[in-house]
Chains A and B, each alone.
Chain A
Amino acid sequence: MPAQAEPLQAIAGFAALLREHGLQVGIPEQQAMVQAALALPLRRTRQLDAAWRAIACHDARAWRRWPDLFQRYWHPDQLKGSARVSGQTRPTRDLRQLVRSLHETLGENAPGQRGQRSAMDTALDTPGGEPDDTGAPRAQGGASRTEALHDKSLSEWLPQDLGQLEQLAERIAQRLRRRLTRRWRDHPRGHRLDLRRTLRASLRTGGLPLAPAWRQPRRERPRLFILVDVSRSMETHAQLFLRIARAFVQAAQARVFVFHTRLAEVTPLLQRDSATVQEKVNAVTAGFGGGTRIATSLADFHRVHARSQLGRRARVWVLSDGFDADPPEQLAEELAAVRSRGARIVWFHPAPAPPASGAMQRAAPQVSRFLRLNSLGDLAQAATALQ
């Protein structure tokens, strides 16, 4: 390996670590990082943190992750409470030294600069996907960190793992098929002439309609309603179902309700970035008493809360194990009522098989799909089925 490629390899390894944690860092970003390191005078190496952060982060989520990742790669010895990866020795990388050698090899005054530029490109190209030997913890024995997280049951999650959930929720929200509405919107390549605006615009050209205005039908995203069962039988799952619901509140402006014996809307609580969400939801549901009355809650949902919003564009997701204390035929009736308004119903259940209680068996024809939801992998799989 040529000597000048080493600092570039370290940067490439850093980029690989960033990618592993969901940051979008490609070759252009890596090149910009090298440029920034070269542009900063040696005495200001400390500011490389801020400069690279501006280059590598593209959104608030990445921005929040940065300090930890930067510290982990460049100053692992200063990281508090970090678990050591067995069998790996990770010497502290000296950022100052790295920048110095970058300046020496690729700086403007260095001889043979052009030839080494190409060395920079190849050095950044080749290890793009793989960090250097001493880099971030590598996959061992065929299992990588991401996969481990992927299959982790939702109830075992740590808050910092939730970034991936947010991304997934966004992806699913993007996939939800836009529905045609009866309203029209301005569109430069629309197919219907907007006569009023065309005439209005023709005034400035002396009445000649030189710039016709066009319209096309408006398409809108489905309206998402998420109903989360917070009864005793769902205790272990409810908290994480709420997290998922919250991700969809942020990604798709979903409305979220919780129920066991009664139903309450919790959307406003989930819109805020507050650490006390769970406490507040508990406070809302505190007086509900024991048992689960899914049918009564559903009736309340479509008659009162979502009365004017349930239409062809509505998607109703129920997150529940399907154990209902109401008369068995009532659930089917209420689901049929929701369905008759044009809404599509998807039932998510934590167990491997769809709920098989008497009420659920009668209600099953009203439900478009039953999907298992117990891990991030399940949600990713469900993504293809949700439209």
Chain B
Amino acid sequence: MVDDSVLREQLHRAGYIADEALATTLWLAGELHRPLLLEGDAGVGKTALAIALAQSQGRRLVRLQCHEGLDLAQAAYEWNYGRQLLAIRLHETDTDRVKESDLFARDYLLERPLLQAIASEQPCVLLIDEIDRADEAFEAFLLEVLADWQITVPELGTLKARHVPLTLLTSNGTRELSDALRRRCLYHWLDYPTLAREIAIVRQTLPDAESALVEQAVAFVQRLRREDLGKTPGVAETLDWVRALHRLGKPALPDDPEALTVTLGCLLKTREDRFQFGPEQIRRVLEGHRTGVAEAKAA
């Protein structure tokens, strides 16, 4: 794995602005062959990091989206029963009947994301997304994969990874993860980006948007996050909002709270927050953003 400053540069080119600590952690994960557990509020860019990492390293991204009831057959491997039956039928009339060992060969094995990552010929990035949604039993199964980088298929034996995949796990904290899993992983808490970093992210993603608009809108969102909201807007929401304002042809953030109200649906996504945030509150946050813009310029 490359040096972390190089990695940071590569991530930047792939459209992800990482801070120094995150780059160091990613580098360490590659160096120590340990999975990295990412936690943080929704919309801070946990999944985006994995995608950018794969792109920046020129590796394939193997993604496992977790959900309740996720089992081995969906996550690791499954025998292709249909094909096995078909093979038996096709060879029924042959003089040399099909042998059982033929049926349990790699040809009849359907590789699901975990096995794909383990068996991959080329180094890849494995993203286990929203691990907190999977059951505890599945978490226990993951321990073998993440500690020894191997999967045991009883009919075939143990398959060891050729290249240890760079593994990222994300969690939104809907369920407490087990200590065993946590201790096998490196840990990083992704926070909302700082003002300067968020401006850089928006500029990177929306290069066409006017500079003044980006600075003012990001300063507004940063102030909004300090308010007591039910659901704090993430980076994805900022991007949506700036995109919306840009499409509406605004060169800068309008001063009139009424004009902003129509687009605030991009940022405030619960009824309570919308209700709480009337024109008066918008004006208050708007007035604060000017100082924020000055800060941004300084940064």
Residues of A bordering B, CB below 8 Å: 24, 26, 28-29, 32, 35-36, 39, 44, 47, 49-51, 53-55, 57-60, 62-64, 170, 186, 188, 204-206, 210, 272, 274, 276
Chosen A-B contacts, 5 in total, with CB atoms closer than 8 Å, are: A29-B183, A54-B25, A54-B29, A54-B36, A58-B187
Cα distance A32–B28 in the bound complex, in angstroms: 10
Task: Determine whether the beta carbon of A47 is less than 8 Å from that of B186.
Answer: no
With A57-B187, A58-B182 known as contacts, the answer to whether A47 contacts B81 (CB < 8 A) is no
Task: Determine whether the beta carbon of A47 is less than 8 Å from that of B20.
Answer: yes
Given contacts A28-B183, A39-B31, A57-B187, 5 further A-B contacts (CB under 8 A): A32-B34, A47-B20, A58-B185, A63-B189, A272-B230
* Chain B window 180-199, contacts with chain A (Cβ cutoff 8 Å), 1 for yes, 0 for no: 00110111110000000000
Task: Determine whether the beta carbon of A51 is less than 8 Å from that of B69.
Answer: no
B266 to chain A, nearest CB (A): 22
Cα distance A57–B188 in the bound complex, in angstroms: 8
> Which residue on A lies nearest to B69, using beta carbons?
A186
Across the interface, B20 reaches (CB within 8 A) one of A32, A35, A36, A50, namely A50
Residue from B34, B39, B187, B228 with most neighbouring chain A CB atoms (10 Å): B187
Residue from A32, A54, A204, A210 with most neighbouring chain B CB atoms (10 Å): A54
A143 to chain B, nearest CB (A): 29
Task: Determine whether the beta carbon of B81 is less than 8 Å from that of A205.
Answer: yes
A202 to chain B, nearest CB (A): 10
Across the interface, B82 reaches (CB within 8 A) one of A28, A60, A204, namely A204
* Chain B window 1-35, contacts with chain A (Cβ cutoff 8 Å), 1 for yes, 0 for no: 00010000000000000001110110011011010
> Which residue on B lies nearest to A55, using beta carbons?
B186
* B contact residues around A47 at 8 Å (CB): 4, 20-21, 24
With A24-B179, A170-B176 known as contacts, the answer to whether A59 contacts B187 (CB < 8 A) is yes
Cα distance A59–B102 in the bound complex, in angstroms: 47
Task: Determine whether the beta carbon of B32 is less than 8 Å from that of A276.
Answer: no
Task: Determine whether the beta carbon of B183 is less than 8 Å from that of A50.
Answer: no
Across the interface, A210 reaches (CB within 8 A) one of B28, B34, B81, namely B81
With A53-B21, A58-B179, A204-B82 known as contacts, the answer to whether A63 contacts B187 (CB < 8 A) is yes
Across the interface, B24 reaches (CB within 8 A) one of A51, A59, A276, namely A51
* A contact residues around B230 at 8 Å (CB): 272
Q: Is B248 an interface residue (CB 8 A)?
A: no
> Which residue on A lies nearest to B228, using beta carbons?
A274
Cα distance A170–B230 in the bound complex, in angstroms: 23
Q: Is B298 an interface residue (CB 8 A)?
A: no
* B contact residues around A49 at 8 Å (CB): 21
* A contact residues around B22 at 8 Å (CB): 50
Cα distance A32–B186 in the bound complex, in angstroms: 10
Q: Is B262 an interface residue (CB 8 A)?
A: no
* B contact residues around A272 at 8 Å (CB): 228, 230
Task: Determine whether the beta carbon of A205 is less than 8 Å from that of B85.
Answer: yes
With A24-B179, A170-B176, A274-B228 known as contacts, the answer to whether A51 contacts B81 (CB < 8 A) is no
> Which residue on A lies nearest to B19, using beta carbons?
A50
Task: Determine whether the beta carbon of B85 is less than 8 Å from that of A206.
Answer: yes
* A contact residues around B85 at 8 Å (CB): 205-206
> Which residue on A lies nearest to B88, using beta carbons?
A206
With A28-B183, A272-B228 known as contacts, the answer to whether A50 contacts B176 (CB < 8 A) is no
> Which residue on B lies nearest to A59, using beta carbons?
B182
* B contact residues around A276 at 8 Å (CB): 228
Cα distance A276–B228 in the bound complex, in angstroms: 9
